[in-house]
Amino acid sequence: MELRDYVAVLRKYWVSIVAITLIGLVGATMVTLLSPPTYTARSAVFLAVRGGDSASELAQGATYATNQVRSYAQVATTPTVLQPVITKLQLDITPAKLADSVSASIPTNTALIEIAVVDGDPELGARIAQATSEQLVTTVEQLSPADSNGKRAVVATIVTPATIPLEKTTPRTVLNLAVGLLSGLALGFGQSVLRNTLDRSIRTEDDVVRATDHSVIAKVPFDPDAAEHPLVMFTDPHSLRAEAYRKLRTNLQFLQVANGTESNSFVVTSSIAGEGKSTTSINLASTLAEGGKKVLLIDADLRRSTVAKYLNIEGSVGLTTVLIGRAALEDVVQPIGSGGFHVVAAGEIPPNPAELLASDAMRRLLAEVTAVYDIVVIDAAPLLPVTDAAILSTMTGGALIVAGSGVVTVPELEDSVATLDQVNGTTLGIVLNKAKVGNGDGYYYHYKHESAAKGAPHHDRLHRSTRPTKVPAGNNA
Tens-digit pLDDT profile for residues 111-163:
899 999 999 999 999 999 999 999 999 998 888 777 667 677 778 899 999 99
Q: Strand 295-299 relative to strand 154-160: parallel, antiparallel, unpaired?
A: unpaired
d(CA 10, CA 17): 8
Same domain, 45 and 18: no
Question: What pTM does this model have?
Answer: 0.64
CB contact at 8 A, 256 and 382 = no
Same domain, 30 and 43: no
SS3 229: coil
Counting as low any pLDDT under 70, the low residues of the chain are 1, 49-67, 147-148, 150, 256-262, 438-477
CA 189 from chain centre, in angstroms, equals: 9
Distances (CA, A) of 330 to 334, 370, 448: 9, 14, 39
Whether 411 is in a domain gets the answer: yes
CB contact at 8 A, 63 and 72 = no
Same domain, 214 and 351: yes
Same domain, 175 and 154: no
Same domain, 149 and 61: yes
First to last CA, the chain: 57
- The predicted structure's pLDDT at residue 69: 85
d(CA 289, CA 283): 10
Helix pair angle (55-75, 122-143), 10° resolution: 130
Residue length of the chain: 477
Whether 475 is in a domain gets the answer: no
d(CA 47, CA 68): 9
Whether 472 is in a domain gets the answer: no
| Residues ≥6 apart with Cβ < 8 Å to 417 | 211, 212, 214, 401, 427
- The predicted structure's pLDDT at residue 48: 79
d(CA 235, CA 242): 10
CATH number assigned to the domain comprising residue 454: 3.40.50.300
| Residues ≥6 apart with Cβ < 8 Å to 124 | 89
Whether 213 is in a domain gets the answer: yes
- The predicted structure's pLDDT at residue 65: 59
SS3 435: strand
| Residues ≥6 apart with Cβ < 8 Å to 330 | none
Same domain, 106 and 178: no
Helix pair angle (240-259, 439-455), 10° resolution: 110
Same domain, 30 and 74: no
Domain total for the chain? 3
- The predicted structure's pLDDT at residue 447: 44
CB atoms near residue 390 (< 10 Å)? 24
Residue-number span of the structural domain to which 243 is assigned: 205-466
Long-range contacts of 239-244 (CB under 8 A, 24+ apart): 239/445, 239/448, 239/449, 240/437, 240/441, 240/444, 240/445, 240/448, 241/283, 242/283, 242/287, 243/444, 243/448, 244/218, 244/219, 244/220
- The predicted structure's pLDDT at residue 442: 44
d(CA 325, CA 356): 12
Same domain, 294 and 320: yes
Same domain, 98 and 137: yes
Same domain, 189 and 141: no
Same domain, 348 and 385: yes
In 3D space, the residue among 457, 450, 404, 391 whose CA is nearest the CA of residue 430 turns out to be 404
Same domain, 302 and 385: yes
CB atoms near residue 364 (< 10 Å)? 12
